[in-house]
Amino acid sequence: MTDSGIEQADPEVAQAILKELERQRNTLEMIPSENFTSLAVLEALGTVLTNKYSEGYPGKRYYGGNEFVDRIETVAIERAKKLFGVPHANVQPYSGSPANFAVYTALCKPGDTIMGLNLTDGGHLTHGWKTSATGMFFNSVPYHVRADGYIDLDEVEELATRKRPRMIWVGATAYTREFPFKELARIADGVDAYLVADVSHIAGLIIAGVHASPVPYAHIVMTTTHKTLRGPRGALLLVTDKGLKRDPELADKIDKAVFPGLQGGPHDNNTAAIAVALQEASTPAFKQYGEQTVKNSKALAGSLMTRGLKLVTDGTDNHMILVDLTPLGTGMGMYAQDALELAGIVVNKNTIPKEPASPFYPSGIRLGTPALTTRGMREPEMEMIGAFIASSMDEIRPYTMPMEKEARREAIKKFRSGISQSSKLKEIRAETVELCRRFPLYPELPRA
């Protein structure tokens, strides 16, 4: 064993990490599920806690030597309970998808009927999509959005009344409006279904008071701890008073589903980082951050629409914007993502409601403001970035995305060759780098 740092121990990996840091510093990170943690969170992740094995829960471990790990996990649990206003919290899930599967394990038997928002309408894989284990092991009955992009509550009620699901999910990965928790709770209660809220994207907004909380309405709440919560990559499972009123053993069922049902020992360094992030989220500064994130999102949406881009639902209530690119052609999401990356703007291709193409070559892009807001950008910068994005979209107009596989391969090759020569994108790239330098990221850390 050596006591040298990573630069000496593995310069190849060290250099790649530094290059990634420089990429983050010099691009506009706009994928709405990405954010920048504080240095304190990063520090917690890189501690000796990674050396410890802690199967079980505080005071009930299968290994010795857990005195301080117990203290840290208990702190994380108590902070989560206080922030979200719930009687029970489990902070051990490795990430959002395993956490969601723990909910199925606690509540359902294979073959039970479940409902969730359809993936191409903005839902999540683990809410019953056909290629997910949740769609394979359970009878998934998806609901959809209306033509205007809002959740079709009439359809939800009709399906729930007819199919009598065991569980209904509320939550999404690409839904730009406030979730109708109260209305969905009424529907779920009417058919004796559990309502489970996956608030991974909006947890930080809920804590900041700029999005309604599901806690009074749902039986269980799941959230990842990155995204708008600005922590490490983990997850929380929260049991509400309503959940315990329905089933006093629900908290125990959730804990047993996580361990030993699905996971082994928790990642103690991640638990510590979650505790730090929750402490940061309890401050007035975090409330201001959440408020500004939504202000920025609305300002960016306005900038894009003013410049002729089409947005699903014609705007946003949260941190996220979904751009419908069908006026430029079908399946243009990948072209838009690639062009924007050349311009120094990182977004992700995404399906739109009633997607006319393939999920692999979708017709939209998803973008958001959490990471930009963390850097300190405000409404004037959103106006500028909206102009960058609209100008970048003009560069993909000459291209088309064929639906035939062979033709598509050749078209993509031609597009990438042509777009890499775009002088306009190079010009925008220079401007995005300059903007990034005005809002430095991690100035305390070294440079490549």
The neighbouring-strand residues paired with 358 are 361
Give residues with Cβ within 8 angstroms of 157, minimum separation 6.
187, 190
Q: Can you read off the two tokens belonging to residue 181?
A: 């928790």
47, 52, 53, 163: the catalytic one is 53
Three-class SS state of 233: coil
Q: How far apart are CA 35 and CA 74, in angstroms?
A: 26
With 0-12 CB in 10 A as exposed, 13-18 as middle and 19+ as buried, what is 275? buried
- Answer positive or negative: Cα dihedral of 154, 158, 161, 165: negative
52, 146, 163, 233: the catalytic one is 233
Q: How far apart are CA 437 and CA 137, in angstroms?
A: 49
Is the Cβ–Cβ distance between 220 and 239 less than 8 Å?
yes
Q: How far apart are CA 400 and CA 407, in angstroms?
A: 10
Q: How far apart are CA 271 and CA 78, in angstroms?
A: 12
Give me the helices (H) in 282-363, please. Answer: 284-306, 333-342
73, 157, 198, 317: the catalytic one is 198
Is the Cβ–Cβ distance between 311 and 323 less than 8 Å?
yes
C-alpha 157: how far from chain center: 27
61, 79, 166, 227: the catalytic one is 227
47, 52, 55, 70: the catalytic one is 55
Is the Cβ–Cβ distance between 91 and 272 less than 8 Å?
no
Is the Cβ–Cβ distance between 272 and 132 less than 8 Å?
no
| Phi and psi at residue 433, to the nearest 5° | -65, -45
What is the radius of gyration, based on Cα positions, of the chain? 22
62 is catalytic: no
233 is catalytic: yes
224, 369, 374, 432: the catalytic one is 224
126 is catalytic: no
Catalytic residue positions, numbered: 53, 55, 198, 224, 227, 233
